[in-house]
Amino acid sequence: MITIRTTIDNNHLMRIQLVSAEYLPSNEFGIGDDFSEVTRSEARGFDSLNHHLVEAYLSQEPTNWVSYLDQALREDRLQLFHQVISPLVKDELKEHYQILLRMQSAGEDAVTMGIFLPAHERAGLAPVLDRWVIRQVLQWLVSGPEHILRPCVCAFNMSRYTLEDKAFPVFLKRHLDRYGIPGTKLCFAFTESTITGNTDRARRLLQALKDIGCYVAVDDFASTPSGFSYLRQMPVDFLKIDARLVKNAVSDSVAFAIVKSTNEIAHIMGIQTIAKGVDNTAIANKVRTLQVDYLQGYHIARPLRLET
């Protein structure tokens, strides 16, 4: 159960404090008056969603997101999926499992959290979800010895709020010790824009994760000169090449050259590469010629339910 404390500050902003050691340390997150307008704009184009979910998304009350997530947690409607990220040379590299979070609607469909995450982040719920996912995956790993013994790494996409959370490494180390799982079983990915937003803070957090034994990845890397400059300052193990670039590399010579140079520069820096968006044979054949380290996409593997 998530305990909620709300107050109105002097600037007429609603303050939500999630007070529960099980989900999140005591931190406050502000929500502005423009919340409903932003969510309405982001919700356009999702008419195919279940009516109940659309109505929840368009709600003008920020606190509804807290209660909605709380209800989803209590009703076990948050679902984890995993998608295999396959190494190009299977005998030399560990297989990765990309961990994906979806929410079961009032109907039968599982809706990707990408639709809801922007609003969840503004409501301060992203750290709650990040920690919940980590606990569930750790429980899955210890549920069978084959999960621990298998040479695989579970990869998580983390929110920018977790990058700013000084208590997160302590939380992670405590849970790894509790379940007896080595940090080398986990990889934490942050988007390029999140990392470059505050390089000093990012460097400290990423190094703390490395000190625990975990791997670190930069997601949605767009191959800009400034991006490589920031990358040189970070303790990064994997570089996930933006899916749009990878998909366009089949028919666009410029995109192909960008993916090629990204892969080569990353290898010079001692960073392994993951090509995202490998959704068909043509894309797979194209990126294989570049000798990227890993392939991810529907052509490689479809997401499967992670039974915890």
Task: Over range 202-228, report the average pLDDT.
Answer: 89
pLDDT of residue 192: 86
In the numeric block, which tokens belong to residue 184? Answer: 């080398």
In a domain, 26, yes or no: no
Task: Please count the structural domains in the chain.
Answer: 1
Identify the domain containing residue 170 by its residue range: 77-305
pLDDT of residue 283: 97
Rounded CA separation 209/225 (Å): 26
Highest average pLDDT, of 26-40, 133-147, 189-203, 237-251, comes from 237-251
- CATH number, domain at 301? 3.20.20.450
In a domain, 35, yes or no: no
Task: Over range 231-240, report the average pLDDT.
Answer: 92
Task: Over range 176-187, report the average pLDDT.
Answer: 95
| pLDDT over 50 at 234, yes or no | yes
| pLDDT over 80 at 148, yes or no | no
Rounded CA separation 297/139 (Å): 26
| pLDDT over 70 at 120, yes or no | no
What is the chain's mean pLDDT, rounded? 76
Task: Answer positive or negative: Cα dihedral of 202, 130, 7, 58.
Answer: positive
Which DSSP helix (H) or strand (E) runs through 294?
Answer: strand 294-295
Do the beta carbons of residue 72 and residue 103 sit within 8 Å?
Answer: yes
pLDDT of residue 82: 92
Q: Which phi and psi angles does 61 have, rounded to 5°?
A: -100, 110
| pLDDT over 80 at 265, yes or no | yes
Global pTM reads 0.75
In a domain, 265, yes or no: yes
For 220, the 3-state DSSP assignment is strand
In a domain, 127, yes or no: yes
| pLDDT over 90 at 73, yes or no | no
Q: What is the pLDDT of residues 194-210, one digit of tens each?
A: 888 778 889 999 999 99
Burial readout 276-299 (b: 16 or more C-beta within 10 A, e: otherwise): bbbbeeebbebbeebebbbbbbeb
In a domain, 5, yes or no: no
| pLDDT over 90 at 74, yes or no | no
| pLDDT over 60 at 288, yes or no | yes
Residue 153: band (very low, low, confident or very high) from pLDDT cuts 50, 70, 90: very high
Sheet holding 4-8, edge to edge: 4-8, 14-18, 28-31
Do the beta carbons of residue 269 and residue 235 sit within 8 Å?
Answer: no
pLDDT of residue 149: 79
In the numeric block, which tokens belong to residue 190? Answer: 């942050």
Task: Over range 128-143, report the average pLDDT.
Answer: 91
In a domain, 270, yes or no: yes
Least confident piece of the model among 44-53, 120-129, 148-157, 217-226? 44-53
Which DSSP helix (H) or strand (E) runs through 118?
Answer: helix 117-122
In a domain, 49, yes or no: no
Rounded CA separation 229/193 (Å): 13
Q: What is the pLDDT of residues 14-51, one digit of tens each?
A: 333 333 333 333 232 222 222 233 333 333 333 333 33
In the numeric block, which tokens belong to residue 16? Answer: 């939500």
Which DSSP helix (H) or strand (E) runs through 86?
Answer: strand 78-87
Rounded CA separation 18/129 (Å): 12
In a domain, 68, yes or no: no
Q: What is the pLDDT of residues 274-284, one digit of tens each?
A: 999 999 999 99
Task: Over range 212-217, report the average pLDDT.
Answer: 97
